[in-house]
Amino acid sequence: MYVLGVDLGTSAVKVLLVDRTGAVKAEATSVYPLIQEKSGYSEQDPAEWVSGTSNAIREALQKAGAAGQDVEGISFSGQMHGLVLLDEAGKPLRNAILWNDTRTTKQCREIEQVLGADLLGIAKNPALEGFTLPKLLWVKEHEPELFAKAKQFVLPKDYVRYRICGEYHMDVSDAAGTLLLDVKRKQWSERIADAFGIPLSMCPPIVEAHACVGEVQAEFAQASGLAAGTKVFAGGADNACGAIGAGILKPGMAMCSIGTSGVVLTYAETCDQDFGGKVHLFNHGKEQAYYAMGVTLAAGYSMSWFKDTFAPEASYEELLAGVEDIPPGAGGLLFTPYLVGERTPHADAVIRGSFIGLDGSHKRSHIGRAVMEGITFSLHESVEMFREAGVEMNEIVSIGGGAKNPTWLQMQADIFGLPVVRLANEQGPGMGAAMLAAYGCGWFPSLEACGEQFVQRAETIQPNPARTEEYRNIFAIYQQVYSQTKGLNDQLAAFRA
């Protein structure tokens, strides 16, 4: 028997068909576009997620020569925070507004003003443009007729799950990213919902990530090749699932993920540590656990932007060939990855990226190295923040598309000054989703037991102390770029499309 892990990412949906030993029997991907009508806007059509998911499931089953009946359960990992507004009939009222959409600065200031200290006290997070509540308030203000028709809001993977099993749910790890959840009590916050006129009836029932919430219905079974009646488990936020899939299930463990966004995440046993709102603090996909994380909005996205803009025909391997031969500092070139604004440590929707120090001698490989270094420096800001807060970090497990490049893995070890663990057959959050289904199906007594079987380490990359020292000096210059370019970007904002 198999379980299916569905990772509803920003660039694509990835489906993993996994057996009882944790071996991936087949994987399939279906890509979908971002809709970016204006600078700062980022949307997707929820219908594309559903068709992409059923196509990828069908392909994965075909590749493995498996029948729908061979799948015992399915679960999900989802891009976080995206607002999907549904009408009475469960139809999306507009495109989903995604986590990397930054149109809601005004609504964030309003939330801070109305809630004051209650916001951090209840939701454990500051008001950031990417979170769901500011998006709800934006729609309420700018599209009041549409908002009046809204009966439910869900997050991206919850919409796909709803189309599979016909029921509305939201798991606690994803609900934590809405800014409407009382994170400690794991319930919708009446105080927050009432303050902004959001009826609690719009908020779906909260469940644990491993909860069985329904069965595959006939229509989706027909489209995907799954058997009707297959068990459906809630699943979790992509970062919670990334953490589960990387075995981040006890204190002292940390993860770096370079997907479209970039994340540095540390396991937390309670939600009581006060980070002063500098990092995000969310419920884990494991029961009674939490994680704290810093987010670089455009991590892998900076790299894919570089590729799509300057070498669309090249593979990442071709694009980054020669980067390993260039010493730290990329020949005096610095890049800040603020292509869509930033979250950690500068919550700033207006800032944009820069190349500082371009020289006539620079080749494409220098720019590639600078992009890699700039993304990693941005992630290092989060590592430093955790260090300053006294969080124990003995090593860091690296996942996501960025972990595919050996030079980038060594660079992470050197810049963070920490051993970096590469996983064997790294599958990112999709494996965490498959683990939630495997645990939910009762294959293992706990997520930890499942992790022992499913999560295999390939190697540990040690930092090179001389390079760590060199990077410390370059990082000090990198850190100045934000304040030196902020005023310039404020002025340039008027010229953005």
Ligand X SMILES: Nc1ncnc2c1ncn2[C@@H]1O[C@H](COP(=O)(O)OP(=O)(O)O)[C@@H](O)[C@H]1O
DSSP code of residue 44: E
Binding flag, residue 344, ligand 5SP (CB under 6 A) = no
Q: Choose which of 204, 235, 236, 259 interacts with ligand X (CB under 6 A).
A: 259
Binding flag, residue 382, ligand 5SP (CB under 6 A) = no
x/- track of binding to ligand X for residues 374-403 (CB under 6 A): --------------------------xxx-
Say how far apart CA 199 and CA 301 lie, in whole Å. 35
Say how far apart CA 478 and CA 296 lie, in whole Å. 15
Q: Choose which of 224, 260, 283, 378 interacts with ligand X (CB under 6 A).
A: 260
| 14 membership: H or E segment, kind and range | strand 12-19
Q: Considering the complex, what minimum distance in angstroms separates the CB of residue 259 from ligand X?
A: 3
Task: Report CA torsion sign: 389, 347, 304, 18.
Answer: positive
Binding flag, residue 12, ligand X (CB under 6 A) = yes
> Which residues inside 194-233 make contact with ligand 5SP, applying CB under 6 A?
none
Binding flag, residue 401, ligand 5SP (CB under 6 A) = no
Binding flag, residue 104, ligand 5SP (CB under 6 A) = no
Cis, peptide link before residue 345, omega less than 30° from 0: yes
271 alpha-carbon distance from chain centroid: 20
Interaction partner, residue 99 (ligand 5SP, ligand X, none; CB < 5-8 Å by kind): ligand 5SP
One-letter-per-residue 3-state SS of 56-82? HHHHHHHHHCCCHHHEEEEEEEECCCC
DSSP code of residue 273: -
Binding flag, residue 81, ligand 5SP (CB under 6 A) = yes
Q: Considering the complex, what minimum distance in angstroms separates the CB of residue 203 from ligand 5SP?
A: 19
Q: Which is nearer to ligand 5SP, 100 or 152 (CB)?
A: 100
142 is in an annotated binding site: no
Say how far apart CA 398 and CA 6 lie, in whole Å. 20
Q: Considering the complex, what minimum distance in angstroms separates the CB of residue 300 from ligand X?
A: 3
Say how far apart CA 190 and CA 199 lie, in whole Å. 9
Q: Which is nearer to ligand X, 303 or 379 (CB)?
A: 303
Work out the end-to-end distance of the chain between its first and last CA atoms, rounded to an integer number of angstroms: 51
Q: What is the chain's alpha carbon radius of gyration, rounded to the nearest angstrom?
A: 22
For residues 270-303, one letter each, b for 16 or more C-beta atoms within 10 angstroms of the residue's C-beta and e for the rest, the string is ebebebebbbbbbbbbbeebbbbbbbbbbbbbbb
Binding flag, residue 364, ligand X (CB under 6 A) = no
Question: Hey, which residues are catalytic here?
Answer: 238
Q: Choose which of 22, 73, 130, 368 interacts with ligand 5SP (CB under 6 A).
A: 130
Q: Which residue has the tokens 């965490």?
A: 432
Binding flag, residue 259, ligand 5SP (CB under 6 A) = yes
Q: Considering the complex, what minimum distance in angstroms separates the CB of residue 435 from ligand X?
A: 17
Q: Choose which of 9, 245, 328, 368 interacts with ligand 5SP (CB under 6 A).
A: 9
Cβ pair 311, 324 in contact under 8 A:
no
Q: Considering the complex, what minimum distance in angstroms separates the CB of residue 242 from ligand X?
A: 9
Say how far apart CA 183 and CA 206 lie, in whole Å. 12
| 164 membership: H or E segment, kind and range | helix 156-165
Q: Considering the complex, what minimum distance in angstroms separates the CB of residue 484 from ligand X?
A: 26
Say how far apart CA 419 and CA 414 lie, in whole Å. 8
> Which residues inside 405-464 make contact with ligand X, applying CB under 6 A?
405, 408, 428
Interaction partner, residue 81 (ligand 5SP, ligand X, none; CB < 5-8 Å by kind): ligand 5SP
Angle at CA 127, nearest 5°, toward 210 and 354? 105
Binding flag, residue 316, ligand X (CB under 6 A) = yes
68 alpha-carbon distance from chain centroid: 29
Q: Which is nearer to ligand 5SP, 177 or 463 (CB)?
A: 177
Say how far apart CA 100 and CA 342 lie, in whole Å. 9
Q: Considering the complex, what minimum distance in angstroms separates the CB of residue 234 from ligand 5SP?
A: 16
80 is in an annotated binding site: yes
Q: Which two tokens stand for residue 469?
A: 């020292």
Which listed range, 252-260, 343-351, 467-475, 484-492, lies at the site for ligand X (CB under 6 A)? 252-260
Q: Which is nearer to ligand X, 178 or 398 (CB)?
A: 398
Binding site for ligand X (CB under 6 A): 9-12, 258-260, 300-301, 303-304, 316-317, 400-402, 404-405, 408, 428
Annotated binding site: 80-81
Binding site for ligand 5SP (CB under 6 A): 9-10, 79-81, 99, 130, 177, 238-239, 259-261, 263, 280, 295
Annotated binding site for substrate: 80-81
